[in-house]
Amino acid sequence: MLSPFLTSDIDPFLTMASTEGWLCGKWEMEFLLQTFPQGCLVKRSGSETLGYITSLRHDKSGWIGNLLVAPQARRGGIGTELMQGAIHALLDAGVETVWLTASAKGVELYRRLGFTAIDSINRWVGEGSGGTGWSPFSPWDPEMVRHVDCAGWGDRREALLHVTSGRGHVICDNYSFVCIQPWPQGTQLGPWGTLLEGQAAPLLDLALAAAGTPVFLDVPAGNVAAAVLLSRKGFSIKGSNTLMYLGVRPKYSPQKVFALASMGSMG
Ligand SMILES: CC(C)(COP(=O)(O)OP(=O)(O)OC[C@H]1O[C@@H](n2cnc3c(N)ncnc32)[C@H](O)[C@@H]1OP(=O)(O)O)[C@@H](O)C(=O)NCCC(=O)NCCS
């Protein structure tokens, strides 16, 4: 049987996640537990917590992340049980499509549960030239951001856009935007979307002028223009995961998605 993921589970989860090298913040876990608590679950055995999972409902879609089983408890079915719990919570809430990004260890598990690969997500790392010189209060248009994001992902993702833009700085242009999110480890670019390919380059220049080094972002491999742009700026790929979905095939347009909003865990 699975149990609810409690606030008191966050610190032990983050400790285990850091041994996997995951980039994951306390703010993110608090947001997930507040926004979709029924999809955030743990597996306990006595006083021990052996596994964790989170999920987030967008509108017609949901996203599963942070599946983590204690090393000594792996290959015993806990990962599968946690996945089934999160999938049920999302389907019960009415979502048609469930997304996730899969590490090499996770791909087979997800495939067995019915997930299909639709793209790869590359983690690009490079350098910024700024740091602190931007104002967090410059005007931006939340409805345009929601519209452009929806064109890429085929769904409205209001809560996710709200929390990520609220902790960073959003730069907008004509039907395009990029969010700059500070982390203790550097600067994340994302969410980053545009309806017009030519808008991405000037936005990247503005973002890099404001971003502290290192700069990292998770980018769909299906967005070839993003790869060309980032390579030109000296960025390189440091890792890759598989983007998978379950259920109704999403209206996904990777050429409009230049970076994910989260480091894989929320979309
Ligand atoms: C991936 C992970 C969650 C799997 O948890 P688990 O409890 O071991 O999963 P299960 O026991 O339910 O495994 C189900 C199936 O997944 C596949 N699988 C699990 N671990 C695997 C691994 N290390 N390599 C390849 N396939 C693996 C196998 O097909 C397995 O079935 P089998 O044991 O009958 O061969 C766990 O290894 C983990 O926490 N890894 C580190 C974090 C991580 O990579 N999380 C996934 C992020 S996408």
* Ligand 1 atom with the shortest distance to the CA of 241: 48
Judging by beta carbons within 10 Å of its beta carbon (0-12, 13-18, 19+), is residue 137 exposed, middle or buried? exposed
Q: Answer yes or no: do 104 and 130 share one domain.
A: no
Helix axes 200-210, 224-232, angle to 10 degrees: 40
Q: The tokens of 251 are what?
A: 């209206």
Claim to verify: residue 10 and residue 111 sit in the same structural domain: yes
Domain-embedded: residue 134: yes
CA atoms of 243 and 115, how far apart (whole Å): 10
What are the two backbone dihedrals, phi and then psi, of residue 240, each rounded to the nearest 5 degrees? Answer: -150, 140
Residues 106 and 142 in one domain: no
Who's near 180: CB < 8 A, 6+ residues apart? 134, 168, 169, 170, 171, 187, 188, 189, 207, 210, 211
Give distance in angstroms: CA of 136 to centre of ligand 1: 41
State how far the Cα of 140 lies from the Cα of 144, in Å rounded to an integer: 9
CB 42 within 8 A of CB 52: yes
- Relative to beta strand 41-45, strand 2-4 is antiparallel
Please enumerate in sequence order all residues whose Cβ is within 8 A of that of 165, keeping only pairs 6 or more positions apart, or say none. Answer: 140, 142, 145, 179, 191
Could you write out the DSSP letters of every residue in 213-258? SSEEEEEETT-HHHHHHHHHTT-EEEEEEEEEEEESPP---GGGEE
139, 50: one domain: no
- How many separate domains does the chain show? 2
Residue nearest (by alpha carbon) to ligand 1 atom 36 = 69
Are 88 and 170 contained in the same domain?
Answer: no
Distance 56 CA to ligand 1 centre (A): 21
Domain-located, residue 199: yes
**pLDDT for the residue numbered 132:** 54
For residues 111 and 162, state if they share a domain. Answer: no
Residue 222 domain flag: yes
Distance 225 CA to ligand 1 centre (A): 34
Whole domain around residue 150: which residue ranges?
A: 122-259
Q: Is residue 190 part of a domain?
A: yes
CA of 182 to the centre of ligand 1 (A): 31
Distance, CA of 89 to CA of 139 (rounded, Å)? 37
Show which of 120, 151, 173 is a domain's final residue: 120
CA–centroid distance, 102 to ligand 1, in Å, is: 11
The amino acid that residue 95 corresponds to is V
Protein residues whose CB sits closer than 6 Å to any atom of ligand 1: 20, 67-69, 74-80, 102-103, 105-106, 108-109
Of the three residues 59, 93, 120, the one that is the final residue of a domain is 120
Domain boundary among 120, 147, 180: 120
For residue 78, the ligand 1 atom closest to its alpha carbon is 7
Which candidate, 87, 71, 81, 91, places its Cα nearest to that of 20?
71
Q: What's the CATH code of the domain at 33? A: 3.40.630.30
Contacts of 235 (CB under 8 A, 6+ apart): 124, 125, 126, 215
Probe ligand 1: pick from 105, 111, 263, max atoms within 8 Å of CB? Answer: 105
How do the pLDDT tens digits run along the chain, 267 residues long?
A: 999 999 999 999 999 999 999 999 999 999 999 999 999 999 999 999 999 999 999 999 999 999 999 999 999 999 999 999 999 999 999 999 999 999 999 999 999 999 999 999 999 999 998 765 554 444 678 999 999 999 999 999 999 999 999 998 899 988 999 999 999 999 999 999 999 888 899 999 989 998 989 999 999 999 999 999 999 999 999 999 999 999 999 999 999 999 999 999 999
Q: What backbone torsions phi and psi does residue 175 show, to the nearest 5 degrees?
A: 45, 40
Same domain, 240 and 129: yes
Kindly state whether residues 149 and 255 are assigned to the same domain.
Answer: yes
Residue 181 CA to ligand 1 center (angstroms) comes to 31
Dump the DSSP string for 39-72: G-EEEEETTEEEEEEEEEE-SSEEEEEEEEE-GG
Residue 265 lies in a domain: no
